[in-house]
A = this chain, B = another copy of it.
Amino acid sequence: MVEKRTPIAVSAAIKQVLEHAFPLGSENLDLEDSYGRILAEPIVASTDVPPFNRSPYDGYAIRSADSAGASGENRIGFDVIDHIGAGEVSAKMLNAHEAIRIMTGAQLPDGADAVVMFEQTVETPDAITIRKPFEPLENVSLQGEDVQKGEVVIDSGSFINPGTIALLATFGYSQVLVAKQPVVGILSTGTELLDVGDELVPGKIRNSNGPMIVAQLKRMGFRCKMYGMSIDRLDESFNVVKKAAEETDCLITTGGVSVGDFDFLPAIYKRLGAEVLFNKVAMRPGSVTTVAVANDKYLFGLSGNPSACFTGFELFVRPALLKMMGAGKLFLPHTKAVLGEDFTKANPFTRFIRASYDGETVSPAGFNKSNAVSSIARGNALIVLPGGTRGFHLGDVVDVLLLGAEEGTDKWQL
């Protein structure tokens, strides 16, 4: 009676999912709305940075040649002939033994090739003396030393972080071309599901996967369309899935993908003519995670177990959505850490365990059955234990995937 499914490895499953990503195109946004988006064009330096030779300090601009031979016993004097604040330009040209008072960030005046910091001078009204010689270009930030005009400073496909915003502002990008975001739909299936505001009744539980996925999408900066909760009737569920698949780039369902009598997603995929990429992954929790494609749109069938649902989203949905936007860094950040307590269960399949990572040690966040809803709210990482292993002990070094990072990494390393 039970349908026989062949599990595929997690890495193979991710690869298959990513092969089916289709691009969403791009759109122009105002710079101020672009944080968190994916660049659909490279950032090109429209000017040198710095755009002119400038002073990195508050002090006096001089001609370095005039300082030759200066020492404690042979202080050399300069007449102060002008005063430049940041943003100002001096109309004067330095002649021998003249200095111009200059503020941090201001453009070096003509003739000057060095800056003496305030604390390197003795100041008198309209004059200074110095006690050391200066090299040509000493204390000068050179035009273009950071970036040269025309250089590609950030590649297309990069995540726009606050520093990227600074760079875009510097180069005058009041608008920026970014990838369009996918339209994602969410449908929770299961007769047992109640809404969050409902009173519990025997046999039923409140739908936690739907709100959780909304938050996982929000964490990525996406909004989504809700298709409510479908009860376990085939025709009704088919109609909702069909409509949702037409209106979105990616439909995420929770539940209904196992081999139970009311797990209708397999039948619905068949009726839709969808190509099922896989329906069994060698992972715990979430081995029934199913991904299908219909009309170049993703149908993610996540498990109804909250931990499995959460993990399925982070492992498969997240990189797929990022790939659709042309992002370069698709995967959860990976590191290694010392296991903080024993975990002695056998791992026939690759096991993902919600965990707390403190930068050195990683420990399971709680009681780790796939339905352990309390552990899901704790912790900031997933421990990954390879399949075919028998148990791990305090002090073992294990693989860790970090959750909630703004940007991921470009390689799947497990």
Q: State the A residues within 8 Å of B (CB).
A: 1-2, 31-32, 35-36, 43, 47, 49-52, 56, 58, 83-89, 101, 103-107, 118-119, 123, 141, 145-147, 153-154, 158, 160-174, 190-193, 196-200, 202-216, 218-219, 232, 258-262, 304, 306, 310, 333-336, 354, 358-360, 367, 369, 371-380, 402-407, 409
Contacts and interface: CB of A to CB of B under 8 A. Distances in A.
Q: Name which of A119, A198, A376 has the most chain B CB atoms within 10 A of its CB.
A: A376
Interface of A is mostly: loop
A73 B84 CA distance: 99
A369 B56 contact: yes
A372 B103 CA distance: 18
A212 B170 CA distance: 10
Contacts of A379: 163
A377 B212 contact: no
Nearest to A85: B262
A141 B371 contact: yes
Contact of A147 (B171, B215, B374, B404): B374
Q: How many copies does the complex hold?
A: 2
A103 B261 contact: yes
Contact of A123 (B1, B146, B359): B1
21 contacts: A35-B219, A50-B205, A51-B205, A85-B260, A89-B203, A104-B260, A141-B371, A146-B369, A146-B372, A147-B373, A161-B215, A161-B377, A162-B213, A162-B310, A163-B212, A166-B208, A166-B211, A166-B310, A168-B211, A169-B196, A335-B359
B146 A367 contact: yes
Contact of A212 (B56, B84, B165, B261): B165
Given A205-B105, A260-B103, A167 B376 contact: yes
Contact of A191 (B88, B213, B406): B88
Contacts of A259: 58, 118
A49 B208 CA distance: 12
A124 B86 CA distance: 88
Contacts of A169: 196, 206-208, 210-212
A37 to B, nearest CB: 11
A105 B304 contact: yes
A141 B106 contact: no
A162 B212 contact: yes
